[in-house]
């Protein structure tokens, strides 16, 4: 098992002067990466938590009518992944991350202004919200490719999956706690006052990103040998990952786009994102509608965040499981395939069960199981990009995340469309306009639309399992020097 002490590199450590123990600066790098991952999910998931209140303030019928706002984020996320990854590979993750985190933090705060009235002037409507979410997504696009670049530079190969697992675990935990944090900030508690409006939550979260930038800019360096606190012992442990210079030259685009495993990873990640994105977009509104969970309900907030909390455990266990399994099957990519196929099939079964789940607890358990299975594979997915991309790790990861974001964008649009079509079909059945449907009929039709989406998700994950069978990482784009 890959441990926090990098046991796979004991030989390198043993050769060092015992009176000068290796420094452990790389774990501070991991802490910065994890904290940034948390901020990305706070800023994403808070929009899903705010959807019902935002739709009401904008005069919409429900969260499903925000589908273009949800979709705008993922479209921008897809468009700017590769450019941001290329910047990170060429000039290093430090400057790239500082620019994009400051950018998206500003647009997070601005999101809270949309639909409000300041000095008698209304600050935009749905169209403005769509534009703001697009600009927010353009910033967040570069986060994980550049985190991947930092991990590539700062950690030995044997630790890549585990490091990625901790990064995504942190993000999932933050996303899972967002509905609860949202309820506390908006409704207040016996010990803390409520914020003046739900809009202020976006300002608070935006300010958090700015504070991260200030700390990161003072401490982080692109490469371990550039950091004054890193000694030769730690450099020996990190090993070959430090060979690559930040200025990597041209990207081998032909090799990237013709690599069969890159294509399989991209298709698989698209399918995975189709089902997973529901957890941070429509899930809070769905549970509120189906199970009558109020915004200030603590248990309800736990239900809404459970898929991300449970998924966080999977993020870490996945790296551990693959490391153990790799010892038995001898090839690390085979271990990844076994875990990937098994996890996707179990995920499909969980979504199939969610279609007919009898209550909030059963639904929460099944959707959380699905999220756990997805996150069990995350470290392997991103580490595979590092294995294939090597010195072009960030742009390879960005290519995967770009195509994956297309799946998320389609899911955001498709979910809202399926729900709207279900409501429209009910209106036709009752021979009344949609606007005249009574609440009971409208709710029933809305939930039926969501059940259709859950069935599609189950089928999608079976296809993702098939993709895992064709992913191999033993042929990099360009061998590292």
Residues in Cβ contact with 317 at an 8 Å cutoff, skipping those fewer than 6 apart: 165, 376
**For residue 177, what pLDDT is reported?**
83
Give CA torsion, residues 356, 359, 362, 365, to 10 deg: 110
The pLDDT of residue 373 is above 90: yes
Whether residue 1 contacts residue 324, with contact meaning beta carbons closer than 8 Å, is answered with yes
- The pLDDT tens digits for 53-83 are 888 888 876 666 788 888 898 889 888 988 8
Which residues on neighbouring strands pair with residue 122, listed in sequence order? 117
- The pLDDT tens digits for 81-98 are 888 888 888 888 999 999
- The pLDDT tens digits for 389-422 are 887 877 888 889 888 888 988 998 999 999 999 9
Can you tell me the distance from the alpha carbon of 308 to that of 310, in angstroms, rounded to the nearest whole number?
5
State what percent of residues in the chain have pLDDT above 90: 40
Whether residue 298 contacts residue 435, with contact meaning beta carbons closer than 8 Å, is answered with no
The pLDDT of residue 2 is above 50: no
Is the entire prediction scored with pTM above 0.85? no
Q: Could you tell me the pLDDT band of residue 243, with boundaries at 50, 70 and 90?
A: very low
The pLDDT of residue 5 is above 70: no
**Residue 303 half-sphere exposure toward CB, CA atoms < 13 A:** 24
Residues in Cβ contact with 89 at an 8 Å cutoff, skipping those fewer than 6 apart: 149, 246, 248, 251, 391, 392, 393, 394, 395
The pLDDT of residue 134 is above 60: yes
Count CB atoms within 10 A of the CB of residue 4: 11
Can you tell me the distance from the alpha carbon of 37 to that of 352, in angstroms, rounded to the nearest whole number?
30
Closest CA to 164 of 402, 375, 333, 449: 375
**For residue 3, what pLDDT is reported?**
42
State what percent of residues in the chain have pLDDT above 70: 91
Count CB atoms within 10 A of the CB of residue 431: 6
**For residue 398, what pLDDT is reported?**
83
The pLDDT of residue 12 is above 50: no
Q: Average pLDDT of 192-211?
A: 88
Whether residue 76 contacts residue 121, with contact meaning beta carbons closer than 8 Å, is answered with no
Residues in Cβ contact with 435 at an 8 Å cutoff, skipping those fewer than 6 apart: none
- The pLDDT tens digits for 392-401 are 877 888 889 8
CATH topology of domain 24-224+236-468: Growth Hormone; Chain: A; (1.20.1250)
Buried b / exposed e over 56-94, threshold 16 CB at 10 Å, is ebbebebbbbbbbbbbbbbbbbbbbbbbbbbbbbbebbb
Query: Which range, of 207-221, 306-320, 454-468, averages the lowest pLDDT?
Result: 306-320
**For residue 63, what pLDDT is reported?**
67
The pLDDT of residue 15 is above 70: no
Buried b / exposed e over 374-390, threshold 16 CB at 10 Å, is bbbbbbbbbbbbbbbbb
For helices 25-57 and 160-187, the axis angle rounded to 10 degrees is: 40
Classify the C-alpha dihedral 236-240-241-242 as positive or negative: positive
**For residue 115, what pLDDT is reported?**
78
**The two three-digit tokens of residue 339, written as one number:** 């875990």
């Amino acid at each position: 098992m890959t441990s926090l002490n990098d046991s796979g590199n004991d030989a390198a450590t043993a050769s060092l002067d015992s009176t000068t123990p290796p420094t452990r600066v790389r774990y501070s790098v991991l802490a910065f990466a994890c904290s940034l991952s948390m901020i990305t999910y706070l800023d994403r998931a808070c929009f899903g938590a705010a959807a019902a209140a935002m739709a009401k303030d904008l005069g919409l019928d429900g969260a499903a009518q925000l589908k273009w706002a949800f979709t705008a984020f993922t479209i921008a996320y897809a468009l700017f992944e590769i450019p941001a990854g290329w910047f990170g590979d060429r000039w290093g993750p430090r400057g790239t991350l500082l620019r994009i985190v400051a950018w998206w933090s500003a647009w997070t705060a601005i999101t809270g202004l949309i639909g409000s009235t300041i000095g008698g002037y209304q600050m935009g409507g749905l169209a403005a919200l769509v534009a703001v979410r697009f600009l927010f997504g353009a910033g967040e696009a570069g986060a994980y490719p550049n985190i991947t670049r930092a991990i590539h530079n700062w950690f030995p190969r044997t630790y890549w999956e585990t490091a990625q697992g901790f990064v995504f675990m942190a993000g999932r935990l933050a996303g899972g706690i967002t509905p609860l944090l949202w309820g506390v900030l908006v409704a207040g508690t016996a010990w803390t006052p409520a914020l003046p409006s739900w809009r202020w939550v976006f300002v608070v979260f935006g300010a958090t990103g700015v504070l991260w930038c200030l700390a990161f800019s003072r401490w982080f360096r692109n490469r371990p040998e550039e950091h004054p606190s890193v000694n030769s012992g730690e450099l020996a442990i990190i090993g070959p990952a430090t060979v690559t210079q930040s200025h990597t030259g041209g990207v081998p685009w032909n090799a990237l786009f013709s690599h069969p495993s890159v294509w399989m990873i991209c298709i698989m990640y698209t399918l995975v994102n189709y089902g997973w994105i529901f957890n941070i977009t429509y899930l809070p509104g769905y549970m509120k509608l189906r199970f009558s969970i109020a915004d200030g309900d603590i248990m309800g907030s736990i239900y809404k965040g459970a898929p991300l909390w449970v998924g966080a455990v999977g993020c870490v266990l996945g790296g551990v499981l693959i490391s153990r399994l790799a010892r038995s099957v001898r090839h690390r990519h085979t271990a990844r395939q076994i875990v990937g196929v098994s996890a996707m099939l179990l995920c499909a079964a969980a979504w199939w069960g969610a279609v007919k789940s009898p209550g909030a607890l059963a639904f929460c358990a099944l959707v959380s199981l699905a999220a756990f299975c997805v996150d069990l594979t995350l470290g392997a997915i991103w580490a595979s990009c590092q294995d294939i991309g090597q010195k072009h790790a960030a742009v390879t990861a960005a290519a995967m995340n770009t195509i994956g974001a297309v799946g998320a964008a389609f899911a955001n649009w498709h979910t809202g469309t399926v729900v709207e079509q279900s409501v429209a079909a009910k209106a036709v059945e009752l021979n009344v306009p949609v606007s005249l449907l009574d609440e009971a009929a409208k709710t029933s039709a809305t939930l039926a639309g969501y059940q259709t989406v859950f069935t599609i998700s189950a089928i999608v994950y079976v296809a993702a399992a098939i993709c895992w069978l064709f992913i191999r990482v033993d042929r990099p784009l360009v061998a590292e020097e």
